[in-house]
């Protein structure tokens, strides 16, 4: 399905902003149970967090959907 260029630009900006603003400090507010959480003293923004780090979109990336089996 074709999306408008305005919407695509807004999505691109939205996920980019989410990527910039998601930090370990934010993650600490929501408990996650995976094995690769940031250490307590981590303050940097970086790739590879589990549970919603780099991917942007903020809270939407914590969505478990299925995959719990």
Partner 1 sequence: MLIAALPLLEAGSIEAIEWSFDALFKHQGIPQWFSDLLGAFASEGRLVGHGVYYSMFSGAWKKEQGEWLENLRQTRNSYQFAHITEHFGFMTGQDFHKGAPLSVPYNASTLRLAKDRLLRLSEASACPVGLENLAFSYSLDDVRRHGDFLQELVSTVNGFIILDLHNIFCQVQNFQVDFDKLLNSYPLDLVREIHISGGSWEAAETSPNRPVRRDTHDNAVPEHVFDYLNVALDKLPNLKFVFLEQMGFTLAEQTRKQQFQSDFTRMQQIVKNSSAAALHTNSFDLTPPARLPDPPYEDRLLARQQAELSSILENSTSLTEVSDSLRTSSLARSDWKIEEWEPMMLETAFQISQKWKDGF
Binding site for partner 1 (CB under 8 A): 1-4, 7-8, 10-15, 18-19, 31-34, 47-69
Minimum Å gap between C-beta 18 and partner 1 is: 8
Contacts of 57 (CB under 8 A, 6+ apart): 14, 15, 18
Contacts of 36 (CB under 8 A, 6+ apart): 48, 49, 50
Nearer to partner 1, 39 or 67 (CB): 67
Give the C-alpha separation, 69 to 44, whole Å.
Answer: 32
Minimum Å gap between C-beta 43 and partner 1 is: 19
Nearer to partner 1, 8 or 25 (CB): 8
């Amino acid at each position: 399905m074709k999306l408008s260029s305005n919407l695509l630009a807004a999505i691109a900006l939205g996920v980019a902003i989410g990527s910039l603003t998601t930090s370990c400090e934010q993650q600490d507010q929501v408990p996650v149970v995976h094995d690769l959480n940031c250490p307590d003293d981590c303050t940097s923004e970086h790739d590879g967090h589990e549970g919603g780090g780099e991917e942007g979109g903020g809270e939407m990336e914590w969505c478990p959907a299925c995959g719990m089996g």
